[in-house]
Amino acid sequence: MPVRRVRYKPALNSQCLCGSGLKFKRCCFGDNDVACGKMTDFARDLMIRKDYRTALKYVRHGITNYTILHKTNTAPYITSNNEGVMWLLDIDIKALTELTESLLDCYRGLNDYQSFEYDLERLRSNISDVRWQRKITYFQVIASLGDHWSEKVGRREVKKLMPLDEESDADIIQLYLHFCSDDLPFKRNIDILERLISLIEKPSEKLQYTVVKAIKYLCIGDESESEKLIEQAIKNYELTDWSSDNSYGHMQHALAISLLADLKHSAKLKVQSIQEFEALLENHSWTDSGIADIHFEIGKSLFHIKKFEEAIEQYRKSLEIENSEIVKVFLSQAQIELNDEGAICTIREVEKNLSELSESELLDYIFTYAAIGIAFKQKDMIEKSLGYLSEASLLAPVFEKQKSKLVSEISLLYKTGELEGKSNLLSTLKRLFGLTTRYLILQPNIAGLGVNINKIADDLASESNKKKQSDE
């Protein structure tokens, strides 16, 4: 006769299991028998309507109810090390992680990361397992970053998750790579990326991280290996049911196609990437910022097939939606190609706001600034470009190799005023255009959100509609 498990009952005066800090009797008591899935569905529908305050209540109920299930069916038997119990423990950690992600979605919608941090600390005791403790720390790091993702804060906070030698949590590895990848030697980067790719389940993320791995090879000048990796990653993704993937997956596919086109010097692939980016604009799940980014990507692809006027049109569309210094840098590159001296004014605008550029974007700015100075014989700009190049921090080998050569050639041009070799120097600078920002665009994905967490609206609506259609 099977042993009947006694349902775990929190004490009425104990802190509620949802992390609110309230007593159980004043929080989730009375609603702790409702199925967790039903609570999650209610919360999801409310988040679609942006009613985050009410959604938060349902997410809390879901966390309480699932924790009661865990403490009833799994927790009492963990010490037995029974294989079935360990399997249940894995499921419990995953389920409570997903509920905590929903909690994050609610607090993000309310722009209240501090309350999320308080809740997280109270959720530590829900599961007694080191993996859950590390997951809580991971979410605390996410909360401390808020919407702005400061490099300084990120590098400081991610140390709380060290060491990572035996880490098997893909989210934690992604976060670490986002902030620390540039500080790692090549072999260490590749080893961590390979471990991450083996852990990831989503085809779109496998595509994304394989491309990141390819970029690491590109950084050391191994274009052949980079091209091979991207080509295979695209094929693997296209073998899945990728046509029904979400916007994020399609964006990764379009970006990968665009980068492969750069490496293969293929106008055909560039046209394909343009078509895919244009198709993305028809999806209404994008925020304004996301739409601006897509126009920017279309512009870059048009630039590479020498449709400079059309590229400028796309850059301007992007800037009409959202002011961006890096888009202005690319706009000035297209203006150079049309011999438009407006490039000087455009790049000088960017010069006033250099602090808004990331490290990789700053490199694009420096190369472009030097090219404009040379193309339009602006001696003061040529001199300044030398200063920018000299001050540039340690670059990836593919750029460091070019740096000393560029400094030498630009110095000669500046001192002598002779334009001999000017065209070769301009060609070298133009080859570097756009390459640096690839490191930013294809950086590791964070918590399933993408680096730019405000770029894509949640796919909640489309997922909800699919569910309703399948239920009909």
CA atoms 351, 357, 361, 363: torsion sign: positive
| Cα-based torsion angle of the residue sequence 358, 361, 366, 372 in order, rounded to the nearest 10 degrees | -140
Instruction: Give the other-Cβ count within 10 Å of 309's Cβ.
Output: 10
Residue 418: pLDDT band (50, 70, 90) is low
- Residue 436 reports pLDDT greater than 70: no
Contacts 24+ apart (CB under 8 A), 233-239: 233/206, 233/207, 234/207, 234/260, 236/203, 236/206, 236/207, 236/210, 237/203, 237/204, 237/206, 237/207
Please tell me which residue, 228 or 449, carries the higher pLDDT value: 228
| Structure confidence at residue 445 (pLDDT) | 37
Residue for token pair 């490496």: 263
Tokens of 129: 């397992």
Spell out where 248-401 has E strands: none
* pLDDT tens, residue by residue, 308-331: 999 999 999 999 999 999 999 999
Tokens of 124: 């530590």
Residue for token pair 């950086």: 443
- Residue 401 reports pLDDT greater than 70: no
Residue 48 in contact with residue 105, Cβ under 8 Å? no
Of 193-202, 332-341, 453-462, least confident by mean pLDDT is: 453-462
Residue 209 in contact with residue 198, Cβ under 8 Å? no
Residue 117: pLDDT band (50, 70, 90) is very high
* Overall average pLDDT of the 268-297 stretch: 88
Tokens of 128: 């007694």
CA distance 298 to 472: 39
Please tell me which residue, 468 or 302, carries the higher pLDDT value: 302
Tokens of 292: 């601006």
- Residue 434 reports pLDDT greater than 60: no
Of 131-145, 275-289, 385-399, least confident by mean pLDDT is: 385-399
- DSSP assigned state of 145: H
| Structure confidence at residue 217 (pLDDT) | 87
- DSSP assigned state of 445: P
- Residue 124 reports pLDDT greater than 90: yes
Residue for token pair 């455009």: 346
Please tell me which residue, 345 or 419, carries the higher pLDDT value: 345
* Overall average pLDDT of the 336-353 stretch: 94
Tokens of 126: 């829900």
Residue 36 in contact with residue 66, Cβ under 8 Å? yes
CA distance 236 to 204: 10
Tokens of 104: 């994050």
CA distance 234 to 273: 12
Tell me the CA distances in angstroms from 183 to 74, 178, 309, one per residue in order: 41, 11, 39
Domain range list for the chain: 24-139, 322-458
* pLDDT tens, residue by residue, 174-224: 888 888 887 888 899 999 999 999 999 889 889 989 988 998 888 787 889
Q: DSSP labels for 216-280?
A: HHHHTT-HHHHHHHHHHHHHHHHTSSGGGS-HHHHHHHHHHHHHHHHHHT-HHHHHHHHHHHHHH
Per cent of the chain over pLDDT 90 is 46
CA distance 35 to 157: 36
Closest CA to 233 of 217, 267, 262, 257: 257
Using alpha carbons only, how large is the chain's radius of gyration in Å?
26
Q: Tell me the residue type at 167.
A: E
Question: φ, ψ for residue 316 (rounded to 5)?
Answer: -65, -35
CA distance 27 to 7: 19
The residues facing 214 across adjacent strands are none
Helix (H) or strand (E) holding 405: helix 397-416
3-class DSSP state for residue 286? strand
* Overall average pLDDT of the 218-242 stretch: 91
- DSSP assigned state of 8: P
| Structure confidence at residue 342 (pLDDT) | 96
* pLDDT tens, residue by residue, 44-70: 889 888 899 999 999 999 999 999 999
3-class DSSP state for residue 74? coil
Instruction: Give the other-Cβ count within 10 Å of 313's Cβ.
Output: 16
Of 31-40, 227-236, 445-454, least confident by mean pLDDT is: 445-454
Residue 270 in contact with residue 305, Cβ under 8 Å? yes
Omega prior to 76 cis, within 30 of 0: no
Closest CA to 59 of 108, 129, 125, 6: 108
CA distance 373 to 384: 9
Of 26-35, 350-359, 400-409, 426-435, least confident by mean pLDDT is: 426-435
- Residue 39 reports pLDDT greater than 90: no
* pLDDT tens, residue by residue, 147-176: 777 778 888 888 899 988 888 999 899 888
Instruction: Give the other-Cβ count within 10 Å of 148's Cβ.
Output: 8
CA distance 337 to 345: 15
- DSSP assigned state of 167: -
Q: What is the mean pLDDT of the chain?
A: 83
| Structure confidence at residue 70 (pLDDT) | 94
Residues in the chain: 472
The model scores a pTM over 0.85: no
